[in-house]
Amino acid sequence: MKLSKLLTAVFTVSMLAACTFSHEKWSNFDNQSSHLRPKENQAGLVFLRNDAGSNPIAVNIKVNNEYLASLQVGGFAKTEICAKPTTIEAYYVEMKPGTNLNVNLAKQSIRYFAIDTSNASNPQIVEVDTTSAQKILKQLKHQAHTISRINNATCLGN
């Protein structure tokens, strides 16, 4: 009986130690391009955050009430969705509700939105023209630490 308890204890300690010494690395950003190529019935959305740390709190981005990313300073997130009227929401991680923006997305269009965090209680969503967005995106990295929940299944009948 004592031997079985001892073996169980040794096994448990070994497993806990293995978890502690994990070599897994997690990165908030990667080098993925901001380029999008929407399919026939889709549109692309790119969200960027270049506010130079005026407010370090992450901003959750939702598209049609589906989570896209928690955008950090110096990052961007992108998605392809069905081209149709769309609701975009941005709010600080600790707070809700946030700012909503309704946009009509044309087929195969790509729209760019900057997240302005100068307001401490509500981040603002500001549309940016393609030329300006491309210049800003050269200085940003793709947000890679979260997984989008956006359902970008085939867009039939749009």
CA–CA gap between residue 157 and residue 99 (Å, rounded): 30
Whether this model's pTM surpasses 0.75: no
pLDDT in tens, 2-39: 666 655 665 555 655 555 555 555 456 556 667 788 88
Go through the chain and tell me how many residues it has. Answer: 158
pLDDT in tens, 56-113: 888 999 999 999 999 988 899 999 999 999 999 999 987 767 788 899 999 999 999 9
Residue 103's contacts (CB-CB under 8 Å, 6 or more residues apart) are: 85, 86, 88, 111, 127
How distant, in Å, are the alpha carbons of 14, 59, 97, 99 from that of 62?
A: 42, 10, 12, 10
Domains and CATH numbers, the chain: 29-143 (2.60.40)
Distance from first CA to last CA of the chain, Å, rounded?
69
